[in-house]
Structure 1
């Protein structure tokens, strides 16, 4: 059993409105989450220090939206990841980005998205950062509601 000092940080940006025109508002929202760990040497348990370096998993989510269009992205920084995370994910990048358009009863998403059919037995994609799971789909999705109570979903991706 190792002795660790864990620090968690979650900051939410409630919303900044930018006016494109009188009728359309551009809204910027997002959040930043950083889970940090500073290992300390402990002779009782045999835990070793990490050269005074913080281990961190940091995520920055940003979303820009208006009445008909929405765009979003997530920047992940895992240059020095927490213990238990795969070394394949070490580094930083933008693994999740999308562009979504809405008009009347239709919504088209291009890029990254999450989807679930029913209770998830057939298809379920989701993100659980604390477990290192993110199986979002990369592709396109069309949601269409022709009448009240009827929804049609068409999607493709990997």
Structure 2
């Protein structure tokens, strides 16, 4: 954060009349964490209907768009490492949603491809973004601004 934006975010004085940077309410990270956790919780009943966890859902969104990519590439899209993705993808393969195959050109690389069953799930998931959006108290403009700000921060710190 810049000096100006950092000082603007600090709102509370400690016992000596100084700003206390360690108060939870003065942290940008806490509302980001709490909102993320609660938004993921909002997804749960919708994802339960289609048999996915949130992480499986975001993996499927990338696969619906890209069709086939390496585990490394999928991890780059999702900001997840292969240690997190491998068990997730094994479960998704057992569900018949994806297939995993060693890359013929590079045996170290595993290619993940959405299956016909995984594709069929896309239709059942199509309503989820709209239903989640209806749960959030934001106008379209506020949603767009929040989206832009979150990605600005994400790209700056990665």
TM-score relative to the length of structure 2: 0.23
TM-score relative to the length of structure 1: 0.23
Q: Which has the higher contact order (CA 8 A, sep 6+)?
A: 2
Structure with greater strand percent: 1
